């Protein structure tokens, strides 16, 4: 991928280079940039007025060294509760693993007010709005990358990122300026991007665990490696 094509795919980079006003760090709750997703959001608001039904912000301290990037809010998970990975199966496995490896403290109770806090860790998504069938379109992933890039840019101590699934991996590569051909997605792989190590994992969705694509042990091994690398500074 050329430098120019990376710029075209990343509105934050384009804005930086053009000298235009900096893009917002977080999307407006009525962000209109992906018309299909904005429409889906409106339908969800009409159907479930008590749900969050807005772009889901990152969770955790910008001073953290670890960033975890998922695909997009789950319809009945983060889209319902407003906190990444909160309220559906993917969150059960993710937060249990983070608690085990010291990246979270408290008790995860699948609610944004459960008091759980992240430790040296932040969680975000490649796409901030819930997509139909959990499948964002390539244009939507490209458009929302400005917010992922902004998340990265506001993490001065960032040393490790875990991409949950291929979409998060590809979007992180573009945000970090790595070529896809140089860093193919593979569960358990690690790619170096300047000071940041990008670790790949299959997404911790119920579908992946039910079909045996990902086991809890496979998932634990990814975080065990991240923990060890951060602890040893390697």
Measured from the CB atom, is 7 or 209 closer to ligand SF4?
7
Residues in Cβ contact with 39 at an 8 Å cutoff, skipping those fewer than 6 apart: none
Two tokens, residue 142: 């490209």
Q: How far is the CB of 77 from ligand SF4 (least distance, A)?
A: 16
* By CB under 6 A, residue 25 contacts ligand SF4: no
* By CB under 6 A, residue 80 contacts ligand SF4: no
Q: Are 76 and 50 in contact (CB under 8 A)?
A: no
For 192, phi then psi, to 5°, come to: -95, 130
* By CB under 6 A, residue 140 contacts ligand SF4: yes
The Cα 32–Cα 20 span in angstroms is: 20
Give the one residue of 12, 31, 168, 196 binding ligand SF4; rule: CB under 6 A. 31
Give the one residue of 127, 178, 222, 230 binding ligand SF4; rule: CB under 6 A. 127
Two tokens, residue 192: 């170096």
Count of residues engaged in binding ligand SF4, rule: CB under 6 A = 14
| 205 SS3 class | coil
As a whole number of Å, the CA-based R_g of the chain is 17
Candidates 17-25, 26-34, 90-98, 222-230: pick the segment binding ligand SF4 (CB under 6 A): 26-34
Residues making contact with ligand SF4 (CB under 6 A): 27, 31, 33-34, 37-38, 55, 127-129, 140, 143-144, 147
């Amino acid at each position: 991928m050329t430098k120019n094509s990376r710029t075209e795919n990343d509105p934050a980079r384009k804005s930086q280079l053009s000298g235009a006003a900096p893009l917002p760090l977080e999307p407006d709750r009525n962000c209109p940039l992906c018309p299909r997703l904005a429409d889906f959001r409106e339908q969800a608001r009409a159907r479930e007025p008590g749900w969050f039904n807005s772009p889901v912000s990152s969770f955790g301290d910008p001073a953290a060294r670890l960033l975890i990037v998922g695909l997009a809010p789950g319809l009945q998970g983060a889209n319902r509760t407003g906190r990444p990975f909160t309220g559906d199966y993917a969150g059960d496995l993710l937060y249990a693993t983070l608690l085990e490896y010291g990246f979270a403290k408290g008790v995860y109770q699948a609610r944004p007010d459960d008091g759980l806090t992240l430790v040296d860790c932040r969680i975000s998504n490649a796409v901030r709005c819930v997509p139909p069938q959990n499948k964002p379109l390539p244009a939507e992933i490209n458009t929302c990358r400005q917010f992922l890039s902004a998340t990265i840019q506001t993490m001065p101590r960032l040393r490790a990122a875990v991409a949950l699934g291929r979409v998060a991996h590809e979007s992180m590569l573009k945000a970090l300026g790595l070529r896809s051909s140089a860093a193919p997605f593979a569960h358990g792989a690690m790619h170096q991007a300047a000071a940041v190590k990008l670790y790949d994992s299959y997404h911790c969705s119920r579908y992946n665990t039910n079909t045996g694509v990902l086991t809890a042990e496979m998932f634990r091994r990814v975080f065990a490696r991240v923990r060890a690398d951060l602890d040893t500074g390697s």
